[in-house]
Structure 1
Amino acid sequence: MNLKFNYRIGLLLVFLFLLSPTVNSYAQNNTKIATNSGLKGTIIENERQKALEYATVSIYSLPDSLLIKGTITDRKGEFELTNLESSTYFYKVEYLGFKSYKSGSILLRENKTQSLSNPISLQPDTKSISQVEVTANLDFARIELDKTIYSVSNSPISDGGTINEVLATIPTLNVAANGDIQLRGSSDVKILIDGKLSGLLGMSPGDVLSNMPAGDVDRVEVITSPSAKYDASGSAGIINIIMKKERAKGFNGNASATIGTINKHSGHTGLSLRTGKVNFSGSYSYRDDWSGGDYELSRLTEIQNNFEILNARADVDLGTRSHIGQLGMDYLINDKNTMSFSVTNRNVKQNKNGTYNYSRNLVTNSSSPTETYRESAVDIDLDSWVYNASYIRKFDRKGQEFSFDVAYTSNSAENYGNYTSEVEGNTSDFFNSDREEAIIQMDYTQPVGEVGSIETGYLYRTNEIKYNEPIDLSTAFNYKESIHGLYFQFSGEKGNFAYQFGLRSEYSDIETNKAYNDDYLDFFPSVHLSYKLSDNKQVLLTYSKMVYRPDSGMLNPFQNLQDPENQKLGTQDLGAYYTHMPEFTFIYKRDKITYTTNLYYQYKDNIIKQYRSVNEDDVAIVTSENLGSLQYAGIDFNISTKFNKWWSVNSYLSGIYQKYTSIEELDYLGNDAYSFFGKLTSTMRIPKWFNFQTTLSYDSDMPVAQGSYDQSFQVNLAFGKRIMKGKASLSLWIYDVLNTSKYNVNTSGDRFSQQMKYKYENRTANLTFRYYFGKKYNVLKTKKRSSGAHHTEKDI
């Protein structure tokens, strides 16, 4: 313990050492006398001759090509670089989705600001090698060498929904009614915020994202074959949620209020104050949400020479009230050094009240069934604090960068349970859990040549959880996980060929107080290749490897008393499993349509899955077990098209074959089957009226280790409209319009077969009003109605 503590102190000292010369250098640089030379101009897009806001302008010295200074354009596309010495320079202009512009040499004369006589016009980038623009629907998706990026900021859902709800519109993703997020049908996916694990410390991703507004999301990156740069945990891929970054100076913000069906209320406000040197931000979210659900269970169990039939019905209400507050600060030490700090508090209270009715009878018995009931009331109180600090150091050479991030969370949860039944009378249980989690991450990028780069970094992650029941200390459970990761990655381009090679090593150590201890060293290679066949055809070939480690919930032997007929217990002899993920992608673009085809294969050995059995008391027990291997092969078809300026459609269809290999130790026979998943998203942006989005999704019967899920169909609708001259918006979101979504699972095993039908409160509607305020929105007041000016979202 002391060794690890001293190691953290050592990392902190390294960080302070790297920072100290930077601050000293900044102090020395400030003593220099700066001249008044400068450069200013305007940046526009070529097609519509419209100003480009937030374009990046960088100026370099000649002949050594050192980066001197950079800035971004304002709402009018204008920029100005000041306090430059009289010398010879060249400058570059860059903007996402457009070709970069490089000027010839220019001479800045002493004490004069040179104005460019003509605006710089940027051309759309349709010939990128490592990145392919889906030009048929530029606002929605584009494919890069190692990921697919979906722009969701203009979705009607973004103004009124949660992050979970906007994720449900992305083709390869599915969000279940209970908040589970799936990628290509698998929930073993890793969620990141801004490329880091720190944003989701201390809580499950589904719980965090269902409390965060979609309006804060800029784009979503879906990474089906992760590179060595990313933490290797998981088995299905990565979903990286990129949040919006406020760039406008001054005071800006927004506030929203949402009302929904069946006592759903929420509110959110986000504020920022940017002075240029020190920037502050803060947000607060409140949610009061009641949802209902029920399930029906029918189980046939072999008992000696007879069969018992158990029928059960449950009616469960779940109430959630949460408060989430965050404060942050950015300190721009100078043009090349930035430090950021933030603190987040989450307070969540949940009430889960259920009524369970059971009916038992033997097949050969003609007497009336034996009927019993049970009532449960469970209260959960969670309080979580998350602290983040980061440092970014940029160098003179463009693309050379060092970053250091540290995050720490402390969670405390109390769980109260009260139960009433005919057999046991009144019973109760209580336990509390404390969780501490920390992450230290360092990354460094070094450009090589004109188009290549080397990336390397280190990650340390520790997670410690303690479960305690004051009455019975024998049930106490402690879990501790420590992971050290180191990676190296090289990427570049040559002609029509782009490449990325990486290798990651991770040392893992997991232990519990129940005689479980597992430590191992792993290596995770990754390869990403891209070749451009022609201007409109491109192929990509990727491979990566991931690891899935058992977590505290899988290992915890504590028995939950909510439903005595269906118990869930931890297992103490689980081992990690590995996933090999090769994938081939072909992209074909036409004028208004883009076709993307993916062929992929996943091999998972020693997989961890839930395993259901019936014990000697005829009670169903669900445990996590290593169940042999799983082969997962699929083909995806994605068609993205834009019929005109206001209507675009994205259609997705995936066919999957899964094969579970049996093992004898658990009387597990294995399973294999074909399935498919489809999604159609239609977005209409009708000028002067509203934005309208429809999402239709269909899941066929899906195999699981011991059975299958039934097919499911769902339709979601979203409407959005800017009002009050763009300073406010109204949005309406309707989930599962036809009330057709269901979650039915059929399982069988030694001595039993079972059908369970879940029905959540899926058909819901939310209405949100959002108001925008601050300096960057006041420009609307300066426009006269007689001018005929027309404002859009991009204008403000």
Structure 2
Amino acid sequence: MMNGNAFVKTLFSIAFIFFVVPCTTYAQDAVIRGVIREAGNQAGPIAGASVSITRKIDSVLVKTAVSDKEGKFELIGVPPGNYRLTAYVIGFNPYTLNALLVSAGNSALQLEEIRLVANTKDLKEIAVIGQKAFIEQQTDKLVVNVDASVTNVGSNVLEILQKSPGVAVDKDGNISLRGKQGVTVMIDGKPSYLSGADLTKLLSNMNASQLSQLEIIANPGARFDAAGNAGIINIKTKKNTAAGFNGSVTLGYGQGSYWRTDNALSLNYRNRKINTFLNYNYGIRNGFTELNIKRRFFESEGKTTGLYDQPSRMTFRSTLHNLKVGMDYFVSARTTIGFAATGRIQVMPSDNASDAHFLDRKGVLDSIVQTRANTKSELKNAGVNLNLSHQFDSAKILTADIDYLRYHSTNHQFFTNSSFAAGTQTAKEAVQGDLPVKIDVYSLKADYTQTFRNLLKMESGLKISQVKTNNLAGYLRRMADDPFLPDYGISNNFLYEENINALYLNFAREVKQWTLQAGLRFENTNYKGHQLGNPERTDTTFTRHYNNLFPNVFVGYKIDSLNEISFSYGRRIDRPAYRTLNPFLYYVNKYTYEVGNPLLLPQYTNNFSVSYGHNGKFTATASYAATSNYFAVVFRSRNKESIYTQDNLGKLQTIGLSLNQALSVGKWWTINLNADLLYKKVTGFVNGADLETSAYTARIGASNQFAIGKGWAAELSGYYNSKDVDGQYTTKGFGQADIGISKLVWNNKGTFRLNARDIFYSQIIYGTILYNNVEESYVQSADTRVVNLSFTYRFGKKLNAPARNKGNSTEQEQRRIN
């Protein structure tokens, strides 16, 4: 195996071939001309209409223009390809031309006259409200338009994901797509910063007012990092690309058992040379979580030997500040450089009270342990991104990103455990913990795209990332009224470094009714971990190096103007979260611990799918996925203690069918229906015994959107997840129903929204876990039945301007931070 220096040299040698020696044949630019007039007898020209074309293969914006006083427009410098053209102006219904083919050698294209139909006042308001469907099925992804749902107001990202097709969120906030965990979460194509418990905190404190769309990509292409065996969820925040100074402000208040508030400010200024932006969010969430755990201890023949009952309630207050600022400088018509900085501070104190009851086999109380815990966690993230985009000509584009990210969290814990037997206190202890985490991520990526005369599109790129983490867990313990002393048995300091080097090459072409795409990604992974010793334990270290190839294929066929079918295949990887590799105990409570596993291997998944689509309204997808080295949370018992870790169980196989249907009942009622049917089978080895589980699961969802008129809109939506089995876990079915209403005011610049979520308080999770000689059941509930009221005011000009698609080079690293 080549060493790191040799590999980097090879990496840059290949990159030199990709970027510095580009092919000399490229597509000829075309000019598309047209004229826009009013529909009807007068047929007068329409000035100021916005005209844009996007690539059909990936919906990327290519060119925009504005019609002149004679209604004429020109789109100059359009490379050969298959496009979708849209024309829009306030007061008229939008116009869409779904099939616009620009052939090689065709330097000029004159379109037929475009006629726009005028709106009445009421119809105009309906168009504004229903301009986007809640769910859109595109060629390579499913898009959820967050603002299209009234009941999303006051929701956080996790709650919105729970309502999204094919997505499920378990009691710990883990996200799965089509029944598979291992989802890569990105924000604006950029890192989500965290994974595990900290990702859950981030998404649960990220409000709907910040979002524009969720992109669900089940089979990403070679351009994306190979991490995430289930696919990618890209959270797109709101961006304003209008010329001049403009922005919006949102104020929101929610009331459940506890109150909460979510507020947002967005400012943007754009002229011919610069685009600057600032987004700030401030929120407070008060809430609770109740968890009731029951354990039954039994002998090998099933005879009960003891019982454990632990009800607990945690109350918390989370305060969040989130800031994003940046600037794009348009050096020329072909070159743009950009800068963006992000910062997030989240503080969450919490109080937890739980009483552990130990009973004998007959259910008679034996002893009680009362635990009182006070914790205060503080999360600070900061990131800087420098980016460059240069268009050599209409057929050649180079983009590059350099990123530095700093993640720092502190977690101060204080536990007291008081033991009682026969009403008398028998023991008392206190545990004090200090758990800081520091993570630094450095990353560089570059992407080059070229379109040839035969309409073949080539994409190539490289990425180099370096991650350094420092996890410290320092515990002090005091028995009775003795002084605090270091507890080296559960104290720990873990250092981790990882380097991933990647290259990819992707080709795509549209030939008549066919859309063809094939790509290959290579990733080289190197990491090492070092657990520092203490007076009771010696140092331990481990290293690993491995190389992988990740192919990706997509074939689409357009049967006619309404029907299309497609096939896709992709290979993916899931690497363990950084802290999961730490071979040490994490103290949860007196009878529950988490332990890392340095021997944990990455899991690999081969994904296959076949899809059928009709008129952009109906989609059916059949899928099969096989995961090797499948890892999941595994429970083990030791005396009265439960210890959980992650382990490679064996093989996971899933067979699924996903259905999405959009219906229009007149002009005022739109229905979105979705269903996911899944068969899941796990075979392997755990806790010294063979494991085989299988289950049929289903998820159904519906959203009803009502455009009432005169600026009023309403929604009724809900979903239900059926029983699920995964390894040692079995989860019962649960669901949720939401209702909401909105009103446009002040010439459509203001919007009031009122909703009620989980109106039947059915978001309660029941489950069981079977391990060793322990049968555990749990019930978890939270402050999910909430009424929200919000007001948004938009100000400034509304002239469309082209926006850059800015990426970032740290997608897969930060999702593994927990």
Place the TM-score, normalised by the shorter chain, in its bin. Answer: 0.7 to 0.9
Match of 2:587 in 1: 561
Aligned 8 A contact 2:35 2:67 in 1: no
2:403 aligned with 1:407:
yes
Mapping of 1:505-544 within 5 angstroms?
505-514=522-531, 515-544=541-570
Structure 1 residue 511, shift from structure 2 partner: 1.9
The 1:249–1:374 alpha-carbon spacing in structure 2 relative to 1, beyond 3 Å, is same
Choose the corresponding residue for 2:66, options 58, 73, 88.
73
Mapped partners of 1:730, 1:460: distance in 2: 46
1:137, distance to aligned residue in structure 2 (A): 10
| Partner secondary structure for residue 535 of structure 1 | coil
Using the TM superposition, name which of 298-307 and 696-705 deviates more: 298-307
CA distance in 2, matches of 1:621, 1:562: 10
- Structure 2, unaligned runs of 5 or more: 21-30, 55-61, 78-82, 88-95, 118-129, 419-426, 475-485, 532-540, 800-818
Deviations along 1:637-677, whole A, 9 cap, x unmatched? 22221112221111112211111103266324321111111
Distance 1:253 1:163, change over 3 A: farther
Local SS of the residue matching 2:97: coil
Instruction: For residue 215 of structure 1, report the CA deviation from its aligned partner.
Output: 4.1
* Contact 1:667 1:749 (8 Å CA) reproduced: no
Instruction: Give the equivalent residue in structure 1 for 2:97.
Output: 98
SS in 2 for 1:451: coil
Scaled by the length of structure 1, the TM-score of the pair is 0.81
Contact kept, 8 Å, 2:178 with 2:656, in 1: the verdict is no
| 1:729-748 matched pairs, under 5 angstroms | 729-748=751-770
Cα separation, 2, equivalents of 1:356 and 1:348: 25
Aligned ranges 1:356-435 → 2 under 5 Å:
356-364=354-362, 368-398=365-395, 400-422=396-418, 423-435=427-439
Q: In 2 relative to 1, CA 449–713 (structure 1 residues): closer, same or farther, beyond 3 Å?
A: same
The match for 1:355 is 353
CA distance in 1: counterparts of 2:336 and 2:613, whole angstroms? 39
2:180 corresponds in structure 1 to: 186
Q: Do 2:751 and 2:791's aligned partners in 1 also have CA atoms closer than 8 Å?
A: yes
C-alpha distance in 1, partners of 2:594/2:193? 29
Q: Is the 8 A contact 1:101 1:122 kept in 2?
A: no
2:314 aligned residue: 316
Say whether the 8 Å CA contact 1:40–1:78 is kept in structure 2: no
Q: Does 1:606 align with 2:639?
A: no
Superposed displacement of residue 210, structure 1: 3.7
SS at match of 2:617: strand
Query: Does 2:451 match 1:457?
Result: no
Q: 1:719 Cα shift?
A: 2.3
1:593-612 deviation digits (Å, cap 9, x = unpaired): 93321111111111110011
Q: Give 2:471's aligned amino acid.
A: Y
SS at match of 1:233: coil
* Alignment match of 1:597 (pick from 620, 625, 648): 620
1:419 and 1:562 in contact (8 A); partners too: no
* Secondary structure in structure 2 of the residue aligned to 1:550: coil
User: Which range moves more in the overlay, 305-314 or 38-47?
Assistant: 38-47
Structure showing the higher strand proportion among its residues: 2
CA deviation after TM superposition for structure 1 residue 516, in Å: 2.6
1:244 shift after superposition: 3.9
| Alignment partner of 2:681 out of 649, 659, 662 | 659
Contact persistence 2:674–2:700 (CA under 8 A): yes
| Aligned position for 2:661 | 639
CA distance in 1, matches of 2:464, 2:679: 36
Contact 1:376 1:562 in 2 (8 A): no
Letter aligned with residue 534 of structure 1: D
1:339 maps to 2:337: yes
Partner of 2:513: 496
Q: In the TM superposition, what is the alpha-carbon distance from 1:625 to its structure 2 partner?
A: 0.6
**1:468-503 deviations in whole A, cap 9, x for unaligned?**
245678610112222111111111121222110111
- Determine if contact 1:710/1:744 at 8 Å carries over to the other structure: yes
Distance 1:179 1:306 in 2: 32
| Cα distance in 2 between the residues matched to 1:211 and 1:50 | 45
Give the Å deviation of 1:688. 0.9
Q: How big is the shift at 1:382?
A: 1.8
Shift of 1:746: 0.7
SS at match of 1:739: coil
Query: Root-mean-square deviation (CA), in Å?
Result: 3.8
8 Å CA contact 2:193–2:199 kept in 1: the answer is no
> Out of 258, 265, 285, which is 1:289 matched to?
285
Partner residue in 1 for 2:745: 723
Instruction: Give the secondary-structure state (helix, strand or coil) at the position aligned to 1:395.
Output: strand
Deviation at 1:623, TM superposition (A): 0.8
Helix, strand or coil for the counterpart of 2:220? Answer: coil
Name 1:235's counterpart in structure 2: 229
Deviation by residue 1:155-209 (Cα, 9 ceiling, x = unmatched): 3256654444443442222345654433223332111233343777999544334
User: Is the deviation greater in 337-346 or in 215-224?
Assistant: 215-224
- The alpha-carbon distance between structure 1 residues 436 and 651, as it changes in their structure 2 partners (threshold 3 A), is same
How far apart, in 1, do the equivalents of 2:602 and 2:403 lie?
26
Task: Answer whether contact 1:93 1:102 (CA < 8 A) is retained.
Answer: no
Q: Return the letter of the residue paired with 1:380.
A: S
Matches within 5 A, 1:770-785: 770-776=792-798
State whether residues 538 and 588 of structure 1, in contact with CA within 8 Å, keep that contact through their aligned partners in structure 2. yes
**Maintained 8 Å contact 2:132/2:148:** no
* 498 and 118 in structure 1: CA distance in 2 versus 1, 3 angstrom threshold: closer
Q: Distance in 2 between matches of 1:656 and 1:106?
A: 50
Call closer, same or farther: CA 1:752–1:356 in 2, change over 3 Å. Answer: same
| Contact 2:32-2:108 at 8 Å conserved across structures | no
8 Å CA contact 1:137, 1:640 repeated in 2: no
What is aligned with 1:256? Answer: 250
The residue type equivalent to 1:253 in the other structure is G
Shift of the 263–306 alpha-carbon distance from structure 1 to 2, 3 Å rule, reads closer
Distance 1:391 1:160 in 2: 36
Query: Do 1:157 and 1:166's aligned partners in 2 also have CA atoms closer than 8 Å?
Result: no
Q: Within 1, Cα distance between the matches of 2:182 and 2:738?
A: 25
Distance 1:710 1:51, change over 3 A: farther
For 1:73 and 1:158, the matched residues in 2 are separated by 34
Match of 2:493 among 465, 473, 476: 476
Aligned to 2:483: none
User: For residues 671 and 502 of structure 1, do their structure 2 counterparts lie closer, same or farther at Cα, with a shift above 3 Å needed?
Assistant: same
The answer to whether structure 1 residue 485 and structure 2 residue 502 are counterparts is yes
**Corresponding residue number in structure 1 for 2:694:** 672
Q: How many residues align?
A: 713
Q: Report how far residue 385 of structure 1 moved.
A: 0.9
CA deviation after TM superposition for structure 1 residue 748, in Å: 0.9
1:700 aligns with 2:725: no
SS of 1:770's partner is: strand
Aligned to 2:266: 270
How far residue 355 of structure 1 moved from its aligned partner, in angstroms, is: 0.5
SS for the counterpart of 2:519 is strand
Distance in 1 (CA, whole Å) between partners of 2:434 and 2:48 is: 58
Query: CA offsets per residue over residues 380-413 of structure 1, 9 Å max, x none?
Result: 1122211111111113224x31110122111221
**Given residue 385 of structure 2, which amino acid in structure 1 is its aligned partner?**
N
Bigger mean CA deviation after superposition, 428-437 or 683-692: 683-692
Deviation at 1:697, TM superposition (A): 0.6
The higher relative CO (CA closer than 8 Å, separation ≥ 6) is in: 2
Equivalents in 2 of 1:420, 1:618: separation in Å?
18
The 10-residue stretch of structure 1 (276-285 or 472-481) with the greater mean CA deviation from structure 2: 472-481
Deviations 1:716-740 (A, max 9, x none): 2232221122121111232211001
Alignment partner of 1:217 is 2:243: no
Q: How does 1:25-36 map to 2 (within 5 A)?
A: none
Amino acid across the alignment from 1:388: N
Give 1:544 shift.
0.5
